[in-house]
Amino acid sequence: MFLINCPYCGERDQTEFSCGGEAHIERPKQPTELSDDQWAEYLFMRKNIKGVQFERWNHAHGCRKWFNMVRDTSNDKIHAVYKMGETPPVK
């Protein structure tokens, strides 16, 4: 059970948050120009790696804001938390 440092509220218990999967997968600007394969890549393909992973999180039972988080899935260490639109820290 992590403690997550919401960039808007501060440190809160994990139970207040929900995870939205892999971060930095931008919705294509012009979906109609994509092939089936390209669209499927956006739609279905997500990484689930052991190690440092960039994730989307939502402070669902708090400020309801979405933000990004860098978490090591092997030990749940949270390396960074940053707002949507901010540049991700270098890997």
Partner 1 sequence: MSKNLRINKNNFIDQTTRISFKFNGKQLFGYKGDTLASALLANNIHLVGRSFKYHRPRGIMTCGSEEPNAIVQIGNDSSLTDPNVRATEIELYEGLEASSQNCWPSVNFDIGGINNFLSPLLPAGFYYKTFMWPASFWEKYEYFIRHSAGLGKAPTKSDPDIYDHQYSHCDVLIVGGGISGIISAKLSAEKGLDTFLIDDKNFLGGSTIYQENEAYKINDIYSNEWLAKEIKSLKNYPNLIIKNRTSLAAFHGYNYLLARENLTDHLSISDRKNKIRQRLWKIRAKKVIIASGSIERPLIFSNNDRPGIILSSSIKKYIDYYGVKTGENISLFTNNDSAYETAISLIKSGVKVNVIVDIRKNSESLIVKEALDLGLKVLWESTVVETQGYKKIKSFEVMRLSDDGNNVIGNKTKHNCDCLGISGGWTPMVHLFTQSGGKLKFRNEDNVFIPDQNKTPTNQISVGSCNGEFKLDEIVTRTIENTKSFLDLSKTCYDEMKINCPDEISKRNIWLLPSDKPIGKTKPFLDFQNDSTAKDVKLALREGFKSIEHVKRYTTTGMGTDQGKLSNMHALGIIADTTGTNMGELGTTTFRPPYTPLTFGAIVGRNVGEFFDHTRKTAIHNWHVKNNAEFENVGQWKRPWYFPKNGENMHQAVQRESKAARDSAGILDASTLGKIDIQGTDASEFLNRVYTNAWSKLEIGKCRYGLMLNEDGMVYDDGVTTRLGENHYIMTTTTGGAANVLSKLEDYLQTEWPELDVYLTTVTDQYSTISICGPNSKNIISKIVPSLDLSDSNFPHMSFKNTKISDVNCRIMRISFTGEHSYEINIQSNYAEDLWIKCMEAGKEFNLTPYGTETMHLLRAEKGFIITGQDTDGTLTPSDLQMDWIIGKKKFDFIGKRSLYRSDTIREDRKQLVGLLTDDPKEVLEEGAQLVENINTKPVEMLGHVTSSYFSPNLNKSIALAVVKSGKKLKGKKLIVPMENKNINVTITDTVFYDKENKRLNA
Smallest separation (angstroms) from partner 1 to the CB of 78:
9
3-state SS assignment for residue 42: helix
Which of 32, 48 has the CB closer to partner 1? 32
> Judged by CB under 8 A, does residue 9 bind partner 1?
no
Give the SS3 label for residue 39.
Answer: helix
Reference 84, options 28, 25, 43; nearest CA is 25
34 near partner 1 (CB under 8 A): yes
Nearer to Zn ion, 39 or 82 (CB): 82
Task: Return residues touching Zn ion (CB under 5 A).
Answer: 6, 8-9, 59, 62-63
Rounded alpha-carbon distances, angstroms, from residue 26 to 14, 39, 45, 57, 85: 25, 12, 13, 15, 11
Can residue 65 be called a binding residue for partner 1 (CB under 8 A)? yes
Judged by CB, which is closer to partner 1: 11, or 91?
11
* Spatial contact of 84 and 72, defined as CB atoms under 8 Å apart: no
